[in-house]
Structure 1
């Protein structure tokens, strides 16, 4: 009898406390020579398809360094990085995330290593916080619409236009407008929370989204592909880099930088405190903020003049650009109570489609 109980105990234990799945990268890719004397691990939210050519340029200029690249979802990347920081475990050599509020939190919690070079010292103050967090890209948050389904005279140029488009009862745009699921996407949460603080239109916009049964889903590539295919007719607050890249293959995609204001994201890069190869990571960081690195990123729409995203929308009116700062002001959105309240508002507003187990990272 006792032997029988001993056999059952492991099973009972497993049933009572199932193991939680550990976060894992969505995709991996190595760059450079397999026999390179130095290797660095880079974890990033940027899709391999966009960032790969940039890393090709780096390893070509630094043949002694191999880059092992991991593509992560922003929420999982933050969770893993914070856990490694708190435990003192060895971690990645460089972290790059579009969810820059997460990066600010990691730096604020003492999880970053200082890095200084002539290239980083030349960065403007808004792109260098405490020599520990660096803004490496310039990407606007944009609207995208399908020109086959949205008449030119109805195409929104501002948030006011979008509200007017969605306001009528029985609008043909009902259920056909998409934006980020801010629970799935750290970047989506960041954009939405900054919107709520920037815009007097936010309340009306949320009301219009609710009335028109707008969809919140994840993530940039999925949303933009949905617009190109006609599943959605319009997307709000998606990353300009992904939108412009996709528009090069889809003639029916039109990218709009809102004329009332346009948020501009600078992805945050940091060297973790426990990075095993901080010197080589510093070389990559310097490359990313150098002229050569910026040219490589500009070719992938990761770095550029935000006023040139859609000349008919912005022209050269820099006054409408609202850069998201790399500063502790972003920590407000991560306050537990504020986040819970904001997520509850979002859940009450949006329909959420069924999705598979894995989704693109941003």
Structure 2
């Protein structure tokens, strides 16, 4: 009851507050198509676009209206649509999978089962309503021109060592996601806190060394390439690897102590107007043709060494993969009390800058 009331309040606030526009939109497919699938996602249009085009190649009667959203805004919008019983998106794909698990938990999704969804491992399917459709590691990115080979951090312990000296050249030049602006950033940081004995030390070192918490994969990767940051921590590896293959300034490390692996979650909303087309797109993403398209787009990353030149495994066989499973355990990350405690700890490490004088 409390949670239902919270969703209703969220919907009301979204209706009375200024509307939050999606970041970008784009239409795919012929204008004369008789069917229209509305897809909302946190994935950059430039990244997912070729995958959508591959799906539509044999579907001349279908058109896809793509909306690119930030993860927190997308979560709020889908919560509001669900509470109002409103048909908004026909398919939602988000990297903030803890938020997607919550939407499913609140009855905001409709079930679908096929031979392809049933073949997914247990960690990548929940209640036949949520499916993991990509494979993307959380990595460290560094500037090859400015970081000497002996200083390249191959693990979290190495990163701690770089930040420890008082006169470290890495002071103020390490970046990561701002967890209060990025749902994905919060997910990675929370997963670290549950997984790593180094998490407390990293938070303390980030705070002491003036590390930067900022928004968005592209902004962080740009900062490393341009030399404003020397190292970035917990960056989404799919985006980093695509950039690194075309920019020799960038090195990408899968940490040898462990590497978090994210699968973006797909969900068909309960009120979807085109559930059949949405289900076809889910099946395509899980099919051999879809996997090939996702891999070409950088959204399926192999950690076994096949990515060779671009991905440095920091120890190859020593790298331990930690998939983020689509399970109710992720709801812990949305518990209000735990979020408040975690947020306070984060703000201790990344205090807000003082306001500028008028």
TM-score for both structures, normalised by structure 1: 0.90
1:22 to 5, 19, 23: 19
2:234 to 224, 233, 237: 237
Which runs of 4 or more aligned residues in structure 1 lie more than 4 Å from their structure 2 counterparts after TM superposition? 351-354
Aligned equivalent of 1:345: 345
Deviation at 1:305, TM superposition (A): 1.6
- Give the length in aligned residue pairs: 336
Aligned equivalent of 1:313: 314
Deviation at 1:218, TM superposition (A): 0.4
What is the distance in 1 between the residues matched to 2:315 and 2:116?
30
Aligned equivalent of 1:190: 187
1:142 and 1:352, CA in 2 relative to 1: closer, same or farther beyond 3 A? farther
1:314 and 1:51, CA in 2 relative to 1: closer, same or farther beyond 3 A? farther
Deviation at 1:352, TM superposition (A): 5.7
1:352 and 1:288, CA in 2 relative to 1: closer, same or farther beyond 3 A? farther
Aligned equivalent of 1:59: 56
What is the distance in 2 between the residues matched to 1:353 and 1:259?
33
Deviation at 1:61, TM superposition (A): 2.4
Contact 1:138 1:306 in 2 (8 A): no
Q: Could you say what secondary structure the match of 1:258 adopts?
A: coil
What is the distance in 2 between the residues matched to 1:84 and 1:352?
33
1:275 and 1:226, CA in 2 relative to 1: closer, same or farther beyond 3 A? same
Deviations 1:83-102 (A, max 9, x none): 11011111200000000000
Contact 2:174 2:212 in 1 (8 A): yes
Contact 1:216 1:353 in 2 (8 A): no
Aligned equivalent of 2:7: none
Aligned equivalent of 1:102: 99
Deviation at 1:316, TM superposition (A): 4.1
1:92-171 pair list within 5 angstroms: 92-171=89-168
Q: Could you say what secondary structure the match of 2:187 adopts?
A: helix
Contact 2:137 2:301 in 1 (8 A): no
Q: Could you say what secondary structure the match of 2:314 adopts?
A: helix
Unmatched runs of 5 consecutive residues or more in structure 2: 1-15
Contact 1:294 1:303 in 2 (8 A): yes
What is the distance in 2 between the residues matched to 1:103 and 1:121?
19
What is the distance in 2 between the residues matched to 1:51 and 1:183?
25
What is the distance in 1 between the residues matched to 2:265 and 2:51?
16
What is the distance in 2 between the residues matched to 1:314 and 1:75?
35
Q: Could you say what secondary structure the match of 2:32 adopts?
A: coil
| Larger CA deviation: 98-107 vs 61-70 | 61-70
Aligned equivalent of 1:298: 295
Q: Could you say what secondary structure the match of 2:57 adopts?
A: helix
Aligned equivalent of 1:259: 256
Contact 1:307 1:317 in 2 (8 A): no
Unmatched runs of 5 consecutive residues or more in structure 1: 1-18, 355-362
What is the distance in 2 between the residues matched to 1:333 and 1:119?
29
What is the distance in 2 between the residues matched to 1:137 and 1:49?
16
Deviation at 1:330, TM superposition (A): 0.3
| Larger CA deviation: 99-108 vs 247-256 | 247-256
What is the distance in 2 between the residues matched to 1:62 and 1:141?
34
Contact 2:238 2:301 in 1 (8 A): no
Larger Rg: 1
Q: Could you say what secondary structure the match of 2:268 adopts?
A: strand
Q: Could you say what secondary structure the match of 1:96 adopts?
A: strand
Q: Could you say what secondary structure the match of 2:304 adopts?
A: helix
2:247 to 250, 259, 263: 250
TM-score for both structures, normalised by structure 2: 0.91
Contact 2:23 2:69 in 1 (8 A): yes
Contact 1:95 1:271 in 2 (8 A): yes
Deviation at 1:314, TM superposition (A): 4.5
Deviation at 1:353, TM superposition (A): 7.5
Deviation at 1:223, TM superposition (A): 0.2
Aligned equivalent of 1:271: 268
Contact 1:139 1:306 in 2 (8 A): no
What is the distance in 2 between the residues matched to 1:259 and 1:39?
45
Aligned equivalent of 2:6: none
Aligned equivalent of 2:9: none
